[in-house]
């Protein structure tokens, strides 16, 4: 989890790991688990998008840009019951997950998938939409403002662009866990901020921009710009899927950030990752999951 509240460890990047090295497809099960854990947030988010579109406007075509395994794609299809929803992603195997999930949930007839690499793919016949959703994908493209500009151009007049970016770093452990130095999560956040910066700098066409998402949406020509945040609040004791999610997150943190952490913190991570240890993340009674997802929206003037 980055401080940018990416939901999967695949989004963490180390020195020398360029964007193209990220193996999103290997993350399919983890991304889907993460998405499913966030369903209590995704449903209300889609309902809020429907409100923001307005009662007089029916979404006929919806794009999910950087759709991952398509958990939100199906939520969008369920919420916008008349709409064709197209999942767009650079990872073909994740698009297959999206298709399979939509079939299982009974919305397959209205869910399409499209393989496209951003940003080039945005100018390549994606077609227009009444609603464009993009969660935690824009920050994986060098020119974030350029992507928002391109997405805004794909909107029909009166259409809504919604990007889930920013938010808060998730919390899942108390400050003092009885092992190692208190404040592990804050130090992991700091290490991840550093890595995020390197990841952004290594992206092709990397451009720095003040990450003021509402201002960026306005610069893309959108109006009625708005932000809202939903909280995922899974208190202790956690169930199995949330523990599996955290174990995968911490595994990735250990792999990607071991060198940035001091020996004491690495030891603590190893304890948390020990599947047999009562104090490991799979068993400890104090683990929880608190995660804030912020969505920024804007409307293309009619
Ligand atoms: C962090 S995941 C987010 C998945 C999903 N939207 C979510 O919120 O759970 C980022 C997704 O964006 C896709 N992605 C990242 N960079 C991309 C690019 N340049 N072009 C196309 N897809 C990209 C990845 O394949 C992955 O599915």
For the CA of 94, the nearest atom of ligand 1 = 27
For the CA of 134, the nearest atom of ligand 1 = 6
> Which tokens sit at 173?
């452990």
pLDDT single digits (tens) 221-237: 999 999 999 999 999 99
If you take atom 8 of ligand 1, which residue's CA is the nearest one? 135
How many angstroms separate the CA atoms of 133 and 83, rounded?
A: 13
How many angstroms separate the CA atoms of 241 and 34, rounded?
A: 9
Give 113's strand partners.
87
Closest residue by Cα to residue 136 from 77, 97, 89: 89
Cβ–Cβ < 8 Å for 39, 202:
no
Q: Determine the pLDDT at residue 14.
A: 30
Lay out the sheet containing 155-164: strands in order across: 111-115, 84-89, 61-65, 129-135, 155-164, 289-299, 223-234
- Helices 263-273/240-257 angle, 10° precision: 150
Number of H helices, E strands in the chain: 9, 7
pLDDT exceeds 90 at position 173: yes
Q: Determine the pLDDT at residue 1.
A: 39
How many angstroms separate the CA atoms of 302 and 297, rounded?
A: 16
Q: Determine the pLDDT at residue 285.
A: 97
Q: Determine the pLDDT at residue 3.
A: 39
**How far is the first Cα of the chain from the last one, in angstroms, to the nearest whole number?**
38
pLDDT single digits (tens) 262-288: 999 999 999 999 999 999 999 999 999
Q: Determine the pLDDT at residue 178.
A: 97
What count of other Cβ atoms lies within 10 Å of the Cβ of residue 1? Answer: 27
For the CA of 10, the nearest atom of ligand 1 = 1
pLDDT exceeds 70 at position 5: no
Q: Determine the pLDDT at residue 123.
A: 86
Confidence of residue 23 (pLDDT cuts 50, 70, 90): confident
> Which tokens sit at 125?
């016949």
The residue extents of the domains of the chain are 9-299
Class of the domain covering 9-299:
alpha beta
Mean pLDDT, rounded, of the chain: 91
Q: How far is the CA of 30 from the centre of ligand 1 (A)?
A: 13
Q: How far is the CA of 297 from the centre of ligand 1 (A)?
A: 19
Closest residue by Cα to residue 297 from 86, 57, 6, 53: 53
141 lines ligand 1 (CB under 6 A): yes
Which of 18, 89, 164, 291 to probe ligand 1 with, by most ligand atoms within 8 A of CB? 89
Q: Determine the pLDDT at residue 6.
A: 55
- Write down the pTM of the prediction: 0.93
pLDDT exceeds 80 at position 179: yes
pLDDT exceeds 70 at position 149: yes
For the CA of 64, the nearest atom of ligand 1 = 6
Query: Per-residue pLDDT averaged across 53-65, rounded?
Result: 92
Query: Per-residue pLDDT averaged across 148-177, rounded?
Result: 96
> Which tokens sit at 193?
């901020």
Q: How far is the CA of 140 from the centre of ligand 1 (A)?
A: 7
Give the 3-state secondary structure of residue 46. helix
pLDDT single digits (tens) 192-227: 888 899 999 999 999 999 999 999 999 999 999 999
> Which tokens sit at 126?
């994606």
67 lines ligand 1 (CB under 6 A): yes
Q: Determine the pLDDT at residue 214.
A: 98
> Which tokens sit at 97?
């997950």
135 lines ligand 1 (CB under 6 A): yes
For the CA of 140, the nearest atom of ligand 1 = 16
> Which tokens sit at 68?
């991952």
pLDDT exceeds 50 at position 18: no
How many angstroms separate the CA atoms of 16 and 14, rounded?
A: 6
CA distance readout (Å), 302 to 45, 166, 214, 223, 277 = 24, 28, 19, 10, 59
162 lines ligand 1 (CB under 6 A): no
Q: Of 137 and 252, which is predicted with more confidence?
A: 137
Closest residue by Cα to residue 164 from 192, 196, 142, 140: 140
> Which tokens sit at 249?
């997150």
């Amino acid at each position: 989890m980055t401080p940018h509240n990416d939901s999967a460890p695949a989004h963490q990047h180390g020195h020398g790991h360029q964007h193209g090295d990220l193996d999103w497809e290997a993350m399919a099960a983890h991304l889907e688990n993460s998405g499913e854990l966030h369903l209590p947030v995704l449903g209300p988010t889609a309902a809020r998008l429907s409100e923001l579109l307005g009662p007089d406007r029916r979404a006929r075509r919806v794009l999910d840009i950087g759709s991952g395994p398509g958990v939100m794609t199906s939520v969008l299809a369920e919420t916008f019951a008349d709409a064709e929803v197209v999942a767009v992603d650079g990872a073909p195997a994740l698009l297959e997950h999206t298709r399979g999930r939509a079939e299982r949930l009974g919305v397959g007839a209205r869910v399409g998938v499209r393989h496209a690499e951003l940003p080039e793919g945005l100018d390549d016949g994606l077609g227009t939409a009444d609603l464009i959703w993009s969660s935690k994908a824009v920050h994986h493209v060098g020119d974030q403002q350029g992507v928002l500009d391109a997405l805004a151009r794909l909107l029909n007049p009166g259409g809504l662009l919604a990007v889930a970016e920013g938010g808060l770093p998730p919390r899942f452990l108390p400050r003092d866990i009885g092992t190692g130095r208190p404040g592990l999560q804050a130090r992991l956040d700091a290490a991840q901020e550093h890595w995020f910066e390197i990841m952004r700098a290594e992206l092709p066409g990397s451009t720095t921009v003040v990450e003021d998402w509402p201002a960026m949406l306005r610069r893309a020509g959108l109006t009625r710009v708005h932000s809202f945040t939903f909280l995922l609040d899974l208190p202790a004791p956690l169930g199995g899927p949330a523990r599996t999610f955290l174990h995968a997150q911490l595994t990735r943190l250990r792999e990607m950030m071991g060198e940035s952490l001091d020996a004491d913190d690495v030891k603590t991570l190893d304890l948390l990752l020990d599947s047999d240890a009562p104090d490991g993340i799979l068993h400890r009674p104090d683990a929880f999951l608190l995660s804030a997802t912020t969505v920024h929206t804007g409307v293309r003037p009619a």
